[in-house]
Amino acid sequence: MPEYMTPFTTMINLTNGVIPNAVVVQKRYLKDMEGLFADSRAEDAEMINNPLLYEVHEATNNPMEEGQLRYSTTTIYPGKVGGEYYFTRGHYHEIGNRAELYMGLAGEGYLLLMTPDGEINVQHMTPGAMSYIPPFWAHRTINIGKENFVFFSCYPSDAGYDYESIVDKGFAQIVVEQDGKPTLLPNPKWTK
Ligand code: PAN
Ligand code: ZN
């Protein structure tokens, strides 16, 4: 006989991403992102202010076992470091074949995806956009607007996070403001 978990419902504020009874709220400041922005001088200069770039509200602590799901919201604040829009650290899933679903709730962002070979894919996310992250793609979200960019994520509980590969190599492309528009450029720090 399986042990039956009790079903439950979580309330989510669809405009600001707040989950009132979140089990974990993570706040990521610039100092948590050291070395990730392409313009190191701009990053160093901004470190004095150490702005809050984004926060994650985790709705559950469902068991980290195959078959279970977890879900969360992420709010990325508007801002730039050396012309590069604020983004999440980005990761591969530790168990590489685990997929994920994102849904845009407020504001405007890019979902930047990359295979281990450095192939890049970009999805434009606005409220209602449902973006699928297939297995094995690294993923990072970027606020390309002037308002908070808020999205919902749902992922297998056992997916895990591989941040180290991104810290070591970065993403092959960056998103910077050029002529007032978000523009993809090769990342000068990228190493294959
Ligand atoms: C998301 C991310 C969240 C924050 O829930 O964890 O948006 O991004 P980083 O984890 O890269 O800092 C997700 O993709 N979970 O698997
Ligand atoms: Zn993920």
The answer to whether 170 and 89 are in contact (CB under 8 A) is no
Closest CA to 22 of 32, 8, 7, 12: 12
In a domain, 83, yes or no: yes
User: Which domain CATH number covers 56?
Assistant: 2.60.120.10
> Which residue in the block uniquely carries the two structure tokens 């829009």?
85
In a domain, 40, yes or no: yes
CA 134 to CA 52: how far, in whole Å? 29
Strand pairing report for 24-29 and 52-58: antiparallel
Ligand 1 nearest atom to the CA of residue 54, by list position:
4
In a domain, 122, yes or no: yes
Boundaries of domain holding 123: 24-186
pLDDT at 153: 98
Q: Which alpha helices (DSSP H) does 17-109 contain, by range? A: 40-46
The answer to whether 167 and 32 are in contact (CB under 8 A) is no
**What is the whole-number distance in angstroms between the Cα of residue 182 and the centre of ligand 1?**
21
pLDDT at 179: 96
In a domain, 63, yes or no: yes
Closest CA to 139 of 176, 188, 100: 100
pLDDT at 2: 78
pLDDT at 184: 98
Q: Decide: 73 in ligand 1 pocket, CB within 6 A.
A: no
∠ CA 46-74-184, nearest 5°, is 60
**What is the whole-number distance in angstroms between the Cα of residue 2 and the centre of ligand 1?**
31
Query: Which residue from 56, 114, 132, 154 has its CB within 8 A of the most atoms of ligand 1, so it is best to mutate?
Result: 56
Per the DSSP assignment, residues forming a β-bridge with 76 are 54, 149
CA 9 to CA 11: how far, in whole Å? 7
The DSSP output letter for 41 is H
List, as ranges, residues with CB under 5 A of the ion ligand 2.
100
The answer to whether 55 and 25 are in contact (CB under 8 A) is yes
CA 25 to CA 158: how far, in whole Å? 19
pLDDT at 1: 75
In a domain, 155, yes or no: yes
CA 80 to CA 177: how far, in whole Å? 9
The answer to whether 181 and 30 are in contact (CB under 8 A) is no
In a domain, 81, yes or no: yes
**Count: domains in the chain:** 1
In a domain, 19, yes or no: no
pLDDT in tens, the chain (192 residues): 778 999 999 999 999 999 999 999 999 999 999 999 999 999 999 999 999 999 999 999 999 999 999 999 999 999 999 999 999 999 999 999 999 999 999 999 999 999 999 999 999 999 999 999 999 999 999 999 999 999 999 999 999 999 999 999 999 999 999 999 999 999 999 988
Q: Decide: 90 in ligand 1 pocket, CB within 6 A.
A: yes
Ligand 1, atom 7: nearest CA belongs to which residue? 74
The answer to whether 33 and 40 are in contact (CB under 8 A) is no
In a domain, 4, yes or no: no
Closest CA to 34 of 44, 24, 25, 21: 44
